[in-house]
């Protein structure tokens, strides 16, 4: 088994949320396709590096696949795919990556079903949690996996009908395979390949 190390934790807050309800035509007639997109959420913490009060380290953006079951108002399940991207800015990002300007710290997507949960509701506000597994690539080319949980508020029925929400906060955990373990795994696979080659020759 592959051991996992070098975990990365990041947090984000605020940001716009748009809920699209596109209508298309399928084999069974008219169908509705709903997705959730968030742009411009502030990256507030990256693996121990904290943004200064009132500032940010960059941004977090994501988009889900289509709603597969349930509903936007009551909770449901979205398809994987879409996107999940983290952009770093400033001196800390330059020190971390060696690149100047805005840099893509993580570029990825959702790897499986995304859960959309209605946590609480009142006349003035409904609170939801969006969570799912993600995978992608760090700025240094390493492929990583993880999961994210994003908290979203929709203030009233009017905003829900307009497809408007507000992201209040989110937490994402990423894991990378431990290099030494990957090396052992690779050596083991080469050994197995050698055994099969010998059997073939025999």
Tens of pLDDT, residue by residue over 101-157, are 899 999 999 999 999 999 999 988 999 999 999 999 999 999 999 999 999 999 887
pLDDT at residue number 198: 61
Parse the chain into domains and list their residue ranges: 4-176
Residue 24 has pLDDT above 50, yes or no: no
Q: Which pLDDT value is given to residue 181?
A: 46
Quick one: pLDDT at residue 178? 55
> By C-alpha distance, which of 75, 76, 45 is closest to 60?
45
Closest CA to 80 of 113, 117, 108, 107: 113
Buried (b) or exposed (e) across 137-165, using 16+ Cβ within 10 A? ebbeeeebbbbbebbbbbeeeebeeebeb
Tell me what the pLDDT averaged over the chain comes to.
85
The whole model's pTM is what?
A: 0.80
């Amino acid at each position: 088994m592959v051991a996992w190390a070098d975990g990365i934790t990041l947090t984000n807050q605020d940001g716009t949320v748009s809920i699209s309800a596109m209508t298309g035509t399928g084999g069974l007639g008219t169908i509705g396709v709903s997705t959730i997109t968030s742009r411009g959420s502030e990256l507030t913490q990256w693996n121990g590096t904290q943004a200064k009060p009132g500032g940010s380290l960059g941004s977090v953006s994501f988009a889900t696949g289509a709603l597969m079951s349930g509903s936007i108002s009551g909770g449901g399940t979205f398809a994987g795919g879409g996107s999940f991207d983290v952009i770093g800015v400033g001196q800390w990002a330059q020190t971390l990556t060696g690149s100047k300007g805005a840099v893509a710290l993580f570029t990825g997507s959702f790897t499986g079903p995304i859960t959309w949960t209605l946590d609480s509701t009142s006349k003035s506000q409904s609170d939801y949690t969006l969570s799912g597994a993600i995978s992608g690539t760090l700025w240094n080319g390493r492929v990583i996996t993880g999961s994210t949980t994003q908290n979203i508020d929709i203030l009233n029925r009017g905003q829900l009908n307009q497809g408007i929400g507000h992201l209040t906060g989110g937490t994402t955990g990423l894991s990378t395979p431990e290099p030494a373990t990957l090396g052992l795994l690779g050596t083991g696979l080469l050994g197995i390949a050698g055994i099969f080659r010998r059997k073939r020759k025999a």
